[in-house]
Structure 1
Amino acid sequence: MSVRAAVPGDAAALAEVHVRTWQAAYAGLIPQDYLDSLDPAQREPGWRRWLADLRPPTAILAWESPDGVAGFVAIMPSRDPDAEPGETGEITAIYLLPAYWGRGAGRELMAAALRRLTEAGFRQATLWVLGTNARARRFYEAAGWRPDGVAKTDDSWGFPLDEVRYRRDLEFAADGAEERDLLG
């Protein structure tokens, strides 16, 4: 099992992971009719375009299980208006098929994302999480992320999503101890 840069040929697998993870992780947190309407085939063309147009430091990293792509993490420069340009990177998505939850794959994806952001020269990273997503919040906090007091409501999905921002520093210890901690 490994983490690698995603390529356009991964579009169908990434769309599948994206949809199936949303359906499992957000059940009871966002409208069920919306979750039921999600279709990987409808998301695949968007994934194909996005993967073809990626420019560093923006990246999609795929986690491969023996059965194929089973998770991904997306990183880019922060989109937040209060971010210092070139100083703050952002994890815009991290998703893993439910069959792999609690087995270390999420920690591998997170460590790879933090490493990439650090290599790109960012000193801090942020991510946004649904305020009611207790499972995700526990995962982030275990990886050293902390809420920074900023919240927003995202209405772009046709219903409100109340999100909180998490932040962490990106200075790995020279001996890699912090990275080992993330990998367990």
Structure 2
Amino acid sequence: MIRTATAADLDAIVTLHTEARATYYRGHLPEEEYAGAAEVARSRDGWAGAIGRDDATVLCAERDGALVGIAAYSVREGSAHLSQFHVSPAHWREGVGSALHIACVAGWQRHGVTEARLEVFAPNTGAQAFYSACGWTPDPDGPRSGDHLVLCRAVPPAGQR
């Protein structure tokens, strides 16, 4: 089930976010930069600020009552920015990411979005493969942002994927 996040989801969101980031940052960044107390607090503040905000959408994917995926995006001037997209590593390759992505696209379509962008950590080849399968391609106007790749995707009209 995919639903909009509420303040009651905050602890589970921060836990999943931290766990997922550790899988692709481990070995590339010092642990305190993705799982240290200061980073977890910063993450918590960010998620708390996004939940319920008018200009942001936070989605939760649940299985058997447990949070297994999260996504956050904002929409401005016909364009969406997918700022967070994480699936619990214990639930990779179970269709959670695909269902969450479909829900994001449907939300963008409701907002009249025609294009979307995201950034993905360059060494995270698993995420890059997932995004590629979902129709994301390197942004021709700026394919890199520091240690992240910038991807873009056309958003089809409502009723299409």
Cα drift, residue 126 of structure 1? 0.7
Structure ID, larger Rg = 1
Tell me which amino acid in the other structure corresponds to 2:101.
Answer: M
Shift in alpha-carbon separation, 1:59–1:103, aligned structure 2, 3 A: same
Unpaired runs of at least 5, structure 1: 78-84, 154-161, 179-184
- Contact 2:18 2:35 (C-alpha < 8 Å) held by counterparts: no
What SS does the corresponding residue of 1:171 show, helix, strand or coil? coil
Map 1:127-138 onto structure 2 (within 5 A).
127-138=118-129
Equivalent residue runs for 1:138-153 within 5 Å: 138-149=129-140, 150=142, 151-153=144-146
Give, in angstroms, the shift of residue 40 of structure 1.
8.8
Instruction: Map 1:30-179; keep pairs closer than 5 Å.
Output: 30-38=29-37, 42=41, 43-52=43-52, 54-56=53-55, 58-77=56-75, 86-149=77-140, 150=142, 151-153=144-146, 162-172=147-157, 174=159, 176=160, 178=161
Q: Percent identity?
A: 23
Give, as a single letter, the amino acid of the residue that structure 2 aligns with 1:143. C
1:132 counterpart SS class: coil
Q: In structure 1, give the amino acid aligned to 2:10.
A: A
What TM-score does the superposition give when structure 1 sets the normalisation length? 0.77
Coordinate RMSD, CA, aligned:
2.1
Partners in 2 of 1:172 and 1:109 — Cα distance? 18
- Structure 1: which 4+ aligned runs deviate by more than 6 Å? none
Partner Cα separation in structure 1 for residue 115 and residue 44 of structure 2: 31
Deviation at 1:25, TM superposition (A): 2.4
* 1:11 to partner: Cα distance: 0.4
Task: Point out where structure 2 has 5 or more consecutive residues left out of the alignment.
Answer: none
Shift of 1:65: 1.4
How many correspondences in the alignment?
158
Shift of 1:29: 2.8
TM-score normalised per structure 2:
0.87
